[in-house]
């Protein structure tokens, strides 16, 4: 049974993924174990955890595969620096230190860190890793595949045809033209951190009006064949990788928003920035529509797989499925760089002759909570834990009574979305609860939405549309039925939609049990679901992380496996 470990690292969101005989048995982001948000470092902790879950020593691995080609990336970086000299002179020391200091020798580092033969360590192309992560874990045997991110070795966008075991590249758009870097530049312009604040921009867009589309038509030109081109006068991602935009962008859109200021969308100042975000969102959607239509035309496929960091834009994904010539669409739950670890592992596994991995049934691919450890820790901290015979019913009763429940059960989720294994759950109708979570627990901007989790069979009663291959992984949005706006007031975004998760016992058994218990109590089969983490923190992984969260943040209750904690009984 061939065993392959895939690795992504050294940009952001490093991760490891393990396949055994073609089956994805584990996938973990390094940040969940190191507790460093978006940790880019070599994911040794995550790799070791994957091996423990697979019951394998590192010496049993047939391949270790890195998700991009270091020498090809070095070539692109050096050419970029030379072509833009002398404007890029400040970037030379940093770029050389980064590429020559660690990234170039990553294959040797992996062999040494894991204790495997260097001959077993190899690399694959960045966008091929992304494309493989999406197509080979999708429910489709024939699909158009579109990859859109910042940049890999050279490509920032690529179109593919996936059929059976084959994955054929059809077209690329190369750096410096990049939708991912466009979105990153506007993220920085709006005062958010790049590689962290892009989802805030998506949330902000719903509060604005896209009145700057003419300005964005100057920033990025969309062509009839689906390709696009940035006007590089507005950008600085070749000379200022921290900011990503130049003075010309501020001349066009107005001064950038200073980071760290409190948002007030009733003010003229912040309404302007919301309108910029809305204009960016519409521009991105139009660009993705062009790419998708072109990919469908080239492949003849009616199913789409989308990957790369841009694929996490749930609003754009919904529009693609609605307006492109598609019957269904799938986005890998860890569509960004973390997901490249899965794709790299799959590619090497297929080379070894293993079966196809098949559709991803669940994102619960990380370690589970150790119940004995959780009990001992909670007891030693004086938290008065008690074991439950029916955890789901107790949890549902608390939610029905307006409590906010920290829900840490089952194996850790893969990807940036909390899907019930490490979630905060609450009543989806209570606006006051939403405000409390935003202001007191999560400490985030008021315009940020929360997501509903609903039983798959009940979706049509609450949302307009039907389930698709994205809804189980919270990678799309759907309009809420007008008659249900009050019942779902805490999870309805400004535009009347929600980024929903449809739940089945097969994909999220613990959360499905809570929704069933709510129904048994004559309550709607829906909960507010947001990630179990505080500001600047990765999602909780272990019993230690969960109990630390409970002590630091004023949630009412915590369900830790079958262990129940209540705030009133905490010290």
Nearest to 62 by CA among 121, 141, 129: 121
For residues 60 and 74, give the distance between their C-alpha atoms in angstroms, rounded to a whole number. 31
- How many whole angstroms from its chain centre is CA 84? 33
* Both structure tokens of 152: 């890999």
- 290 and 226 Cβ atoms separated by less than 8 Å: yes
Nearest to 152 by CA among 313, 296, 10: 10
Pairing of strands 15-20, 23-29: antiparallel
For residues 533 and 541, give the distance between their C-alpha atoms in angstroms, rounded to a whole number. 10
Please, which residues bridge with residue 405 across strands?
A: 425, 557
The H or E element containing residue 518 is: helix 509-520
Report cis status (omega within 30 of 0) of the bond before 331: no
For residues 571 and 568, give the distance between their C-alpha atoms in angstroms, rounded to a whole number. 8
Helix, strand, or coil (residue 6): strand
Q: Is the dihedral of CA 539, 314, 234, 275 positive or negative?
A: negative
Nearest to 205 by CA among 534, 530, 535, 499: 499
Cα atoms in the Cβ-side hemisphere of radius 13 Å centred on 554: 8
What lies within 8 Å, CB to CB, of 536 at 6+ separation is 37
Rg of the chain over Cα atoms, rounded to whole angstroms, equals 23
Ramachandran region, residue 115 (left: φ > 0; alpha: ψ -120 to 50; beta: rest):
left
* Both structure tokens of 68: 């991009």
- How many whole angstroms from its chain centre is CA 279? 22
| Catalytic annotation, pick one of 12, 130, 154, 237 | 12
Please state, as a whole number, how many other Cβ atoms lie within 10 Å of the Cβ of residue 27: 30
What lies within 8 Å, CB to CB, of 123 at 6+ separation is 65, 66, 67, 68, 69, 70, 107, 344
Please, which residues bridge with residue 65 across strands?
A: 6, 122
The H or E element containing residue 405 is: strand 405-408
- 294 and 224 Cβ atoms separated by less than 8 Å: no
Active site annotation includes 237: no
State the catalytic residues. 12
């Amino acid at each position: 049974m061939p065993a392959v470990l895939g690795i992504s690292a050294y940009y952001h969101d490093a991760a490891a993924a393990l396949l055994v005989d073609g089956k994805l048995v584990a996938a973990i982001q390094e940040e969940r174990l190191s507790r460093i948000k978006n940790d880019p470092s070599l994911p040794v902790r995550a790799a070791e955890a994957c091996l423990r879950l697979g019951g394998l020593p590192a010496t049993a691995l047939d391949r270790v595969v890195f998700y991009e080609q270091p020498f090809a990336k070095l070539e692109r970086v050096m050419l970029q620096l030379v072509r833009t000299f002398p404007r890029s002179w400040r970037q030379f020391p940093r770029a050389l230190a980064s590429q020559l200091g660690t990234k170039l020798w990553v294959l040797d580092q992996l062999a040494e860190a894991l204790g495997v033969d260097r001959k077993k360590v190899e690399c694959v192309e960045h966008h091929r890793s992304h494309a493989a992560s999406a197509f080979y874990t999708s429910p489709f045997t024939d699909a158009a595949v579109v990859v859109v991110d910042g940049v890999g070795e050279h490509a920032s966008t690529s179109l593919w045809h996936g059929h059976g075991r084959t994955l054929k590249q059809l077209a690329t758009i190369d750096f410096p033209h990049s939708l991912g870097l466009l979105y990153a530049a506007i993220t920085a312009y709006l005062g958010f951190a790049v590689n962290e604040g892009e989802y805030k921009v998506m949330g902000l867009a719903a509060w604005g009006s896209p009145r700057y589309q003419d300005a964005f038509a100057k920033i990025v030109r969309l062509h009839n064949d689906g390709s696009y081109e940035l006007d590089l006068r507005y950008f600085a991602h070749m000379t200022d990788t921290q900011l990503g935009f130049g003075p010309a962008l501020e001349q066009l859109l107005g001064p950038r928003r200073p980071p760290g200021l409190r948002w007030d969308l009733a003010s003229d100042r912040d309404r302007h920035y919301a309108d910029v975000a809305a204009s960016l969102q519409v521009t991105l959607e139009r660009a993705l529509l062009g790419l998708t239509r072109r990919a469908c035309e080239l492949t003849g496929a009616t199913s789409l797989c989308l990957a790369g960091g841009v694929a996490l834009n749930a609003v754009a994904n919904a529009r693609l499925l609605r307006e492109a010539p598609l019957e269904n669409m799938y986005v890998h739950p860890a569509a960004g760089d973390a997901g490249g670890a899965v794709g790299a592992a799959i590619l090497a596994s297929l080379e070894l002759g293993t079966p196809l991995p098949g559709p991803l049934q669940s994102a619960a691919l990380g370690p589970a909570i150790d119940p004995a450890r959780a009990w001992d820790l909670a007891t030693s901290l004086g938290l008065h834990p008690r074991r439950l015979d029916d955890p789901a019913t107790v949890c549902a009763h608390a939610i029905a009574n307006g409590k906010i429940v920290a829900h840490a059960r089952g194996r850790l989720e893969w990807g940036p979305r909390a899907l019930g294994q490490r979630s905060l759950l609450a009543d989806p109708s209570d606006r006051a609860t939403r405000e409390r979570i935003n202001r007191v627990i999560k400490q985030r901007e008021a315009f940020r939405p929360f997501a509903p989790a609903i039983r798959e069979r009940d979706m049509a009663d609450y949302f307009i549309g039907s389930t698709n291959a994205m809804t189980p992984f919270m990678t799309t949005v759907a309009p809420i039925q007008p008659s249900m706006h009050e019942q779902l007031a805490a999870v309805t975004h400004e535009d009347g939609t929600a980024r929903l998760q449809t739940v089945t016992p097969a994909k999220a058994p613990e959360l499905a049990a809570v929704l069933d218990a709510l129904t048994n109590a004559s309550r709607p089969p829906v909960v507010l679901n947001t990630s179990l983490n505080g500001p600047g923190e990765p999602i909780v992984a272990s019993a230690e992380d969960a109990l630390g969260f409970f002590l630091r943040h004023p949630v009412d209750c915590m369900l830790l496996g079958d262990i129940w904690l209540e705030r009133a009984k905490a010290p």
